[in-house]
Structure 1
Amino acid sequence: MKRRTLVGGIAAAAAAAAHSTPAAAAPVPSGRRIGMSDVTRLHERFADIIASDHAHGGQLGIEQRAAALADEALTLQRAGQATQRVRASLYSCAASFRSSAMWAAIDGRRYVDAQAHMREAQALAEMSGDQAIKFRIWSHAGTMYRHMGRPADALAANDVARSLSISRRDPMFASLGMARQAAIHGAAHEPTAARRAFERAHESMERADKADYRPVWMTAFYDQAEMDSLALSAYLALGNYPTAEFHAHRCLAGLRPHMARSRAITTTRLAHAQLAQGDAEAATATAMTVPASAATQHARVSGMLQEFGAALRATAPGSSTVQTWNEHTAAWRTRA
């Protein structure tokens, strides 16, 4: 019932998405022929959005830029002449941009905005017929509900992603779906289910053909380091701090250079895992390596560091370690 509730209503929303008026899209000469070259240009701009997300993450500017590009794709759809293939590709581009706006809002903890982007992205994806972008949107929905503390909804949304045919065709999509399922089980305090899901995610990744074509949003982030990041999140939630720390170190060792946002999140979670094991000094040293830009401008990182500071003061009240941390965060606020 939960999954049917989440899926229901998309068809009705599709008409609204197709006929809504974009606020700031550039005008297109009426009757201009739209071709795959226009789609290619949109794909290049989508790659730029993905790069910005991995460098900064969660920023309102990324969300707004992605939403504006979704509107631009829909403007081309309405104003130009195009083949059915091109029209489907334009809907796919619009859904891709809207899903990036959704993700930026999730990452910035702007959940009301994220849900609005989600509904439009789902409608556009249905009209595009693009299985990969449908997977991305529903998988993001699962992550959103996990961050909102709604594991039942998170599982239902992630199940939609995992039920798509692309998850059966491509083991890499199956792996991502299972890894995110495992993180949800962690948030729901289900250790056995989390462990089994991670085992299945790893097995699927091992079976995946690395040479297969996959969309840029997938190839830019999903690998063993990302699986370790999800395991870190799960085992932190489960209170298994040594295992969480193990995955944190392995994630940091494997992260690609462009993953600045992920590195800041992982470092912050590592500090939490170390502090929970009683090593306040090492945990504080770890937390102090988080860049000031992430500490002050990324909502998730900022929130987790505030929680770290509160836990540190409760663990080692009045200590020199707490004083060092307070001085460090004061310098962050000055620079912000």
Structure 2
Amino acid sequence: MDTKRNTVLEVWMAEHGYSSNSLANALNKALEQLTGRTGGFDGSSVRSWKAGRVTWPKSATRKALENVTGLPAVALGFVPRGQPRSAPVPPHLEDPDMKRRTLVGGIAATAAAAAVAPGTASPRRIGMSDVDRLQKRFAEIVVTDHRYGGQPGIEQRAAAFADEALSLQNVGSATERVRSSLYAAAAAFRSSAMWAAIDGRRYDAAKTHMREAQALAEMSGNQAIKFRVWSHAGTMYRHLGRPADALAANDVARDLHITRRDPLFACLGHARQAATLGLAGDTAAVQRTLGCAEDALDRADRDLARPVWMTAASDGAELETLALSAHLRLGNFAQAETHAHRSLTLLRPQMQRDRAINTARLAHAQLAQGAVDAAVATAMRVPADAATQHARVTRSLQGFGAALRVAAHGSTIVETWTEHIATWRTTA
């Protein structure tokens, strides 16, 4: 039988330190929590998935995989029965320019193949299988963002997939549902490009992506994507130090119907608003809005199917992260430290970008309370690659170093920190 290896799963396992046997053991424990009975997975089970001999595991297995990895099965390279298997794109970023050239070439080839020469048969029919393929690629973009965050390669790749989704609108016939779904996919990719630019502090590029994402989201009619785009806009304005614009953008997101239908979206909207209110220095409003977010999270059905980018919101990690940001801005350092510890406990292993940012923020909160040694020990836990390659982490640690030199001037702990950051130049 002709099979294609599941390289997406292989890459995920390698990045997270799983062998076939250790992943099987983790899945057995997850299945026991789900069903009360220990699973029967072993290394050969996982090797069958990697080899492509099993392309769509049973439902209980898929749920166990999601609980262990934090990702739906399609984001791990599995393909539902009856759907064609496209070549997976592992989320590597070693050579973003080469990957963009390859991707753009693939898009051109796809469009050329789909186009119909004059005098030939009727145009190609664009269907939900095309949408499903794009959604799988979107899930891969989200996975890569969780690990690397803010890299130009992510921004470029997401923008290229947005272009591909739009090109499909013009190469064949499609139903209204399919066309709406293609606009939603294009908006989702463009919002990921926008977020990568925000995360990398490339704000001019982020504004350009934002304008296109907003237009595409409107054409799609998709409430979840509208929420994501306007929430990202609020975050961008918050990072730019424009709280009035951030509050206005967040209000657009919070007023969408989806926040009334699904409390989890309401929770995320309130939490992002609280982070902005922290920037504005409104302590009472922060406390009130975080309370609304907590109430919404309590009402939310955690088992509902939602977009893959809502993962951190569903387990409460995003709420704790935004509460940390709000209290840090307000100067409530003890509360900020509490939320930092909670967020680091809740964040799933693949959320490496958020873990690095929140570890740096925890160090700031500890230093501001006079716990110099603990703060330096915390800051030293930030991985070298995040400290040197992620713009927001780098800036946060630079600020930490400046505050440390003021708080502990002449102390040996300053020398310890200086020596530590010097090693980043050789290890990153």
- TM (normalized to structure 1)? 0.92
Q: CA deviation at 1:226?
A: 1.4
Q: Secondary structure at the match of 1:78?
A: coil
1:205 to 291, 297, 300: 297
- Report what 1:33 is aligned to: 125
The higher-RCO structure (CA 8 Å, 6+ apart) is 1
Give, in whole Å, the separation in 1 of the partners of 2:373 and 2:312. 34
> What pairs with 1:317-332 in structure 2 (closer than 5 Å)?
317-332=409-424
Matched, 1:87 2:179: yes
Q: CA deviation at 1:176?
A: 0.5
Q: Secondary structure at the match of 2:370?
A: coil
**Structure 1 contact 176–222 (Cα < 8 Å) conserved:** no
- Report what 2:282 is aligned to: 190
- Report what 1:14 is aligned to: none
2:223 to 107, 120, 131: 131
Give 2:295's aligned amino acid.
E
Q: Secondary structure at the match of 1:268?
A: helix
Give, in whole Å, the separation in 2 of the partners of 1:288 and 1:221. 27
Q: CA deviation at 1:168?
A: 1.1
> What pairs with 1:143-222 in structure 2 (closer than 5 Å)?
143-219=235-311, 221-222=313-314
Give 1:164's aligned amino acid.
L
Give 1:26's aligned amino acid.
A
Matched, 1:299 2:381: no
Give 1:190's aligned amino acid.
D
- Report what 1:265 is aligned to: 357
Deviation readout 1:200-239 (Å, 9 max, x if unpaired): 0000111111222211111355431211111110000000
Matched, 1:141 2:233: yes
Structure 1: stretches of 5+ with no match in the other structure: 1-21
Give, in whole Å, the separation in 1 of the partners of 2:174 and 2:239. 40
Give 2:378's aligned amino acid.
T
Deviates more, 1:248-257 or 1:98-107: 248-257
Deviation readout 1:243-296 (Å, 9 max, x if unpaired): 000111111111111111111001000000000011111100100000001000
Q: Secondary structure at the match of 2:174?
A: coil
Give 1:129's aligned amino acid.
G
Give, in whole Å, the separation in 1 of the partners of 2:372 and 2:166. 52
Matched, 1:71 2:153: no
**Structure 1 contact 228–250 (Cα < 8 Å) conserved:** yes
Q: Secondary structure at the match of 1:26?
A: helix
Q: Secondary structure at the match of 1:135?
A: helix
Give 1:133's aligned amino acid.
I
Call closer, same or farther: CA 1:36–1:84 in 2, change over 3 Å.
same
Superposition misfits of 4+ residues, deviation over 4 angstroms:
none
**Structure 2 contact 131–182 (Cα < 8 Å) conserved:** yes
Call closer, same or farther: CA 1:209–1:140 in 2, change over 3 Å.
same
Give, in whole Å, the separation in 1 of the partners of 2:131 and 2:214. 20
Give, in whole Å, the separation in 1 of the partners of 2:220 and 2:141. 20
Identity of aligned residues (%): 67
Deviation readout 1:31-88 (Å, 9 max, x if unpaired): 2211100100000000000000111111110000000000011111111211111111
Give, in whole Å, the separation in 1 of the partners of 2:286 and 2:199. 23
Q: CA deviation at 1:196?
A: 0.4
**Structure 1 contact 244–273 (Cα < 8 Å) conserved:** yes
Give 2:259's aligned amino acid.
S
Give 1:269's aligned amino acid.
R
Give 1:195's aligned amino acid.
Q
Give, in whole Å, the separation in 1 of the partners of 2:190 and 2:312. 18
2:191 to 81, 99, 107: 99
Give, in whole Å, the separation in 1 of the partners of 2:398 and 2:173. 53
- Report what 1:247 is aligned to: 339
Give, in whole Å, the separation in 1 of the partners of 2:220 and 2:292. 30
Deviates more, 1:208-217 or 1:111-120: 208-217
Matched, 1:109 2:201: yes
Give, in whole Å, the separation in 1 of the partners of 2:315 and 2:392. 22
Structure 2: stretches of 5+ with no match in the other structure: 1-102, 116-122
**Structure 1 contact 171–205 (Cα < 8 Å) conserved:** yes
Give, in whole Å, the separation in 1 of the partners of 2:388 and 2:347. 22
Give 2:321's aligned amino acid.
S
Give, in whole Å, the separation in 1 of the partners of 2:256 and 2:237. 19
Deviates more, 1:246-255 or 1:151-160: 246-255
